[in-house]
């Protein structure tokens, strides 16, 4: 069947789940509006129905609380009684600042909304009309983010905590096991309740009853404190800093900066949030040993050393440093999370599949989720891991085509689990189909370089935004990547350009080279080794970008017209050479004369 037929089916799924005001995740299991589901659904709509995308976000934010919190469920009064827990159980009307016009839950979910709103604008044919929506939604998005940084930021370092596993979006993830075990079920007082999900879906694919007892215990605690954040914080046994939540927040902070620029608002607050959260995540959540970001148990002040797909989400948020990204790639492309072309392994499972308690069928303990893989696809593209990203894109498209638009999929065999006709699976499939079509349409124009350079050409103006902006971080990352490339791919004066071009280090070097455009050179304090590294990497980068065949002499102006912008000034290879000559430090310079495996000549 042609791809457009599956695209049509995906749109039919969304239409089936649309109730006139918003789109439910699935009419078969989830009859209300879910927080981050609507964000992903809006991204899908934005490809072909701008008005519906705007309506999806608008209906959700109409239920925003007075303190800025955006509930994880907005209940449809016409469908009450079909899900547990519903509004009668949450009792959010007892909260002084809850939304009294809408029935809602009392927790939130990962804030994908600003990111989705930016996608609506970018994908719109008539952007002028969308600007009115941007002006309406922007203060509400800021209010949501301000809630996080004022109410959920205990150390004022930009790391936002969650207080319930449902807030992570990964409900029964193994990440939460050790934290939830602090709730002693023998002592905990939990009212009787009846689950709906396990009556509709095979219980083997859902969280256990004892998990639900702990989930409901936490809800009871929130109700006791009438949803007062300060009281909950001091009494709640589940206070966790989640890498997925904070990465999605970072991606939306970045989107807020761009939205502010579009409508002429001041973006400095969003930029401060973005940089603060990103740096704190790098410092506190990353494990050099595990080569992954871990969740953080705030109560016990320790990393939760459980490897899940959440640990790769800093790629999506532009949070990971370049050296961290190289190590993340090693983990994401390993036997734990499916190597490229590995047999019996679909996409990226949400849990380390080498662990004994890995379960390819059970909810967030092993299956593949399309939204997680879609975000990782975006992150891999951001950090220029092209081969893995393209592989992931094809697998994400393949799963719904072969097995249907299910909630989640068997990570070994691809079978669909959970409820059928799941909205975000359909919506993100739609987004990828449009993205894939656009990519194919422009491929013919890729890789064409003019070899006669008549004016200055700046080759380090990279457009990917990674949250590395401080001079110390730029300097450290530049040196780490340069040293890794020289150490791994230069041997006895011979450069393996093919391996460099395909290496993750070189792809990440493109990002850090772009950061040099505003790098303060006074920071290096006469460090000539920086200029030596810079010169060598500029030579390698220019040869690869200009597609030199045999000799740099093929490019007229190779040493004088090709340039890097550094500290808002343009430098050619000749300029860098003159700087080093003034420092009497030429012995380490390497000039590449031919491509393939050329000798490098000492100057």
CB 63 within 8 A of CB 71: yes
Of 108-112, 185-189, 595-599, the least confident: 595-599
Closest CA to 21 of 46, 54, 43: 54
Q: Of 438, 467, 484, which one is at a domain's C-terminal end? A: 438
- E-state strands within 169-278: 240-241
SS3 label, residue 33: strand
Instruction: Indicate if 582 and 478 belong to the same structural domain.
Output: yes
pTM for the model: 0.85
Instruction: Indicate if 482 and 585 belong to the same structural domain.
Output: yes
Query: Can you tell me which residue has the tokens 């190289």?
Result: 326
Q: Is residue 204 part of a domain?
A: no
Distance between CA 259 and CA 276 in Å, rounded?
A: 19
Q: Is residue 551 part of a domain?
A: yes
Contacting residues for 545 by C-beta, under 8 A, at least 6 apart = 449, 459
Q: Residue 469: its pLDDT value, please?
A: 78
Distance between CA 528 and CA 536 in Å, rounded?
A: 13
Q: Does residue 444 register a pLDDT over 60?
A: no
Q: Record the tokens describing residue 228, joined without a space.
A: 């007062």
Q: Is residue 297 part of a domain?
A: no
Per DSSP, the residues of 144-164 read HHHHHHHHS-TTSSS--EESS
Total domains in the chain come to 2
Distance between CA 590 and CA 459 in Å, rounded?
A: 19
Instruction: Indicate if 493 and 573 belong to the same structural domain.
Output: yes
More confident residue, 569 or 263: 263
CB 316 within 8 A of CB 378: yes
Query: Can you tell me which residue has the tokens 């370092």?
Result: 157
Q: Of 410, 438, 466, which one is at a domain's C-terminal end? A: 438
Beta bridge partners of 73: 34
Q: Of 438, 470, 486, which one is at a domain's C-terminal end? A: 438
Per DSSP, the residues of 419-463 read SSS-HHHHHHHHHHHHHHHHHHHHGGGTT---SB--S-EE-----
Instruction: Indicate if 569 and 475 belong to the same structural domain.
Output: yes
Q: Is residue 149 part of a domain?
A: no
Q: Is-catalytic flag, 211? A: no
- The pLDDT tens digits for 151-205 are 999 999 999 999 999 999 999 999 999 999 999 999 999 999 999 999 999 999 9
Q: Residue 1: its pLDDT value, please?
A: 65
- E-state strands within 249-344: 286-287, 292-293, 295-297, 302-304
Q: Where are the alpha helices (DSSP H) in 503-547?
A: 504-515, 528-545
In this structure, the dihedral spanned by the alpha carbons of residues 500, 504, 506 and 511, taken in order and rounded to 10 degrees, is: 170
**pLDDT-above-90 percentage for the chain:** 70
Peptide bond into 321 cis (omega under 30): no
Distance between CA 59 and CA 37 in Å, rounded?
A: 13
Cα 439 to the chain's mean position, in Å?
20
- The pLDDT tens digits for 580-592 are 877 665 444 444 4
Q: Which of 265, 407, 473, 541 is catalytic?
A: 407
Distance between CA 36 and CA 374 in Å, rounded?
A: 14
569-572: strand order across its sheet: 457-458, 562-566, 569-572
CB 102 within 8 A of CB 62: yes
Instruction: Indicate if 480 and 591 belong to the same structural domain.
Output: yes
Q: Record the tokens describing residue 532, joined without a space.
A: 């030596």
Instruction: Indicate if 344 and 426 belong to the same structural domain.
Output: yes
Instruction: Indicate if 409 and 532 belong to the same structural domain.
Output: no
Q: Does residue 62 register a pLDDT over 90?
A: yes
SS3 label, residue 125: coil
Q: Is-catalytic flag, 407? A: yes
Instruction: Indicate if 433 and 388 belong to the same structural domain.
Output: yes
CB 304 within 8 A of CB 178: yes
Distance between CA 458 and CA 557 in Å, rounded?
A: 12
- The pLDDT tens digits for 65-109 are 999 999 999 999 999 999 999 999 999 999 999 999 999 999 999
Q: Residue 441: its pLDDT value, please?
A: 52
Q: Where are the alpha helices (DSSP H) in 110-208?
A: 113-123, 127-151, 165-168, 177-180, 197-200
Beta bridge partners of 208: none
Instruction: Indicate if 590 and 499 belong to the same structural domain.
Output: yes
Pairing between β-strand 457-458 and β-strand 416-417 as defined by DSSP bridges: unpaired
- Residue 594 DSSP symbol: S
Contacting residues for 367 by C-beta, under 8 A, at least 6 apart = 349, 350, 360, 361, 408, 409, 410, 411, 417
CB 134 within 8 A of CB 262: yes
Instruction: Indicate if 417 and 480 belong to the same structural domain.
Output: no
486 C-beta neighbours (distance < 10 Å), count: 18
Pairing between β-strand 161-162 and β-strand 73-74 as defined by DSSP bridges: unpaired
Distance between CA 459 and CA 565 in Å, rounded?
A: 8
- The pLDDT tens digits for 517-566 are 888 888 887 677 888 889 889 999 999 988 887 777 777 788 888 999 99
Distance between CA 143 and CA 151 in Å, rounded?
A: 12
Distance between CA 499 and CA 328 in Å, rounded?
A: 19
- Residue 304 DSSP symbol: E
Closest CA to 591 of 576, 603, 575, 582: 603
Instruction: Indicate if 418 and 548 belong to the same structural domain.
Output: no
Q: Which of 76, 171, 297, 505 is catalytic?
A: 171
Instruction: Indicate if 431 and 463 belong to the same structural domain.
Output: no
Q: Record the tokens describing residue 279, joined without a space.
A: 């740096």
Closest CA to 190 of 158, 212, 171: 212
Distance between CA 190 and CA 201 in Å, rounded?
A: 24
Q: Does residue 223 register a pLDDT over 70?
A: yes
162 C-beta neighbours (distance < 10 Å), count: 25
Distance between CA 515 and CA 475 in Å, rounded?
A: 10
The continuous run of DSSP H or E covering 231 comes out as: helix 229-235
Q: Is residue 74 part of a domain?
A: no
Domain span at 431: 1-27+333-438
Q: Is residue 99 part of a domain?
A: no
Q: Is residue 405 part of a domain?
A: yes
- The pLDDT tens digits for 357-397 are 999 999 999 999 999 999 999 999 999 998 899 989 999 99
Q: Residue 331: its pLDDT value, please?
A: 97
Which long-range CB contacts under 8 A does 258-261 form with residues at least 24 apart? Answer: 258/118, 259/114, 259/117, 259/118, 259/121, 259/134, 259/138, 259/141, 260/138
């Amino acid at each position: 069947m042609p791809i457009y037929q599956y695209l049509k089916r995906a749109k039919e799924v969304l239409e089936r789940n649309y109730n006139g005001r918003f789109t439910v995740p699935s009419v078969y299991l989830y009859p209300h509006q879910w927080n981050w589901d609507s964000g992903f659904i809006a991204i899908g709509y934005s490809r072909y129905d701008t008005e519906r995308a705007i309506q999806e976000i608008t209906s959700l934010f109409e239920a925003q609380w007075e303190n800025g919190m955006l509930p994880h469920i907005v209940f449809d009064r016409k469908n009450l009684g079909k899900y547990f827990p519903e509004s009668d159980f949450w009792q959010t009307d007892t909260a002084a600042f809850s939304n009294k016009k809408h029935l809602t839950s009392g927790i939130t979910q990962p804030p994908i909304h600003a990111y989705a709103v930016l996608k609506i604008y970018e994908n719109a044919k008539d952007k002028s009309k969308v600007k009115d929506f941007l002006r309406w939604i922007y203060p509400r998005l800021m209010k949501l983010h301000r809630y996080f940084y004022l109410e959920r930021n205990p150390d004022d370092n930009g790391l936002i905590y969650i207080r319930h596993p449902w807030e992570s979006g990964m409900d029964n993830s193994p990440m939460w096991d050790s934290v939830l075990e602090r709730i002693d079920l023998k002592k905990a007082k939990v009212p009787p309740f009846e689950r709906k999900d396990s009556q509709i879906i095979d219980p083997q694919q859902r969280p256990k009853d004892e998990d639900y007892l702990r989930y409901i215990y936490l809800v009871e605690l929130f109700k006791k404190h009438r949803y007062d954040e300060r009281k909950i914080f001091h009494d709640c046994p589940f206070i966790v800093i989640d890498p997925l939540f904070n990465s999605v927040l970072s991606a939306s902070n970045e989107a807020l900066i761009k939205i502010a620029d579009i409508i002429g608002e001041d973006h400095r607050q969003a930029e401060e949030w973005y940089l603060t959260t990103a740096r704190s995540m790098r410092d506190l959540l990353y494990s050099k040993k595990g080569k992954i970001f871990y969740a953080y148990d705030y109560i016990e002040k320790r990393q939760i050393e459980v490897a899940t797909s959440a640990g790769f989400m800093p790629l999506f948020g532009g949070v990971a440093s370049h050296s961290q990204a190289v190590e993340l790639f090693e983990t994401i492309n390993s036997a734990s999370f499916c190597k490229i072309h590995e047999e019996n392994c679909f996409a990226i499972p949400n849990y380390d599949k080498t662990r004994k308690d890995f379960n390819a069928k059970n909810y967030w303990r092993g299956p593949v989720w399309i939204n997680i893989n879609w975000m990782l696809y975006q992150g891999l593209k951001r950090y220029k891991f092209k081969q893995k990203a393209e592989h992931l894109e094809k697998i994400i498209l393949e799963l719904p085509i072969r097995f249907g638009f299910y909630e989640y999929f068997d990570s070994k065999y691809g079978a669909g689990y959970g409820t059928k006709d799941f909205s975000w699976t359909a919506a993100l499939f739609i987004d990828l189909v449009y993205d894939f079509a656009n990519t194919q349409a422009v491929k013919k124009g890729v890789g064409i370089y003019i070899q006669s350079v008549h004016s200055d050409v700046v080759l380090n103006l990279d457009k990917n935004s990674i949250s590395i902006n401080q001079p110390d971080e730029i300097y450290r990352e530049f040196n780490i990547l340069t040293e890794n490339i020289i150490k791994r791919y230069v041997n006895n004066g011979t450069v393996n350009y093919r391996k460099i071009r395909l290496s993750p280090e070189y792809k990440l070097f493109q990002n850090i080279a772009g950061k040099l455009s505003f790098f303060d050179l006074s920071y290096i304090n006469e460090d000539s080794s920086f200029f030596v590294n810079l010169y060598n990497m500029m030579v390698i980068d220019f040869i690869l970008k200009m597609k030199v065949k045999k000799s740099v002499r093929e490019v007229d102006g190779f040493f004088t017209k090709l340039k890097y912008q550094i500290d808002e000034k343009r430098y050619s290879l000749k300029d860098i050479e003159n700087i080093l000559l003034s420092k009497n430090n030429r012995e380490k310079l390497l000039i590449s004369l031919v491509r393939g495996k050329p000798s490098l000549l000492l100057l």
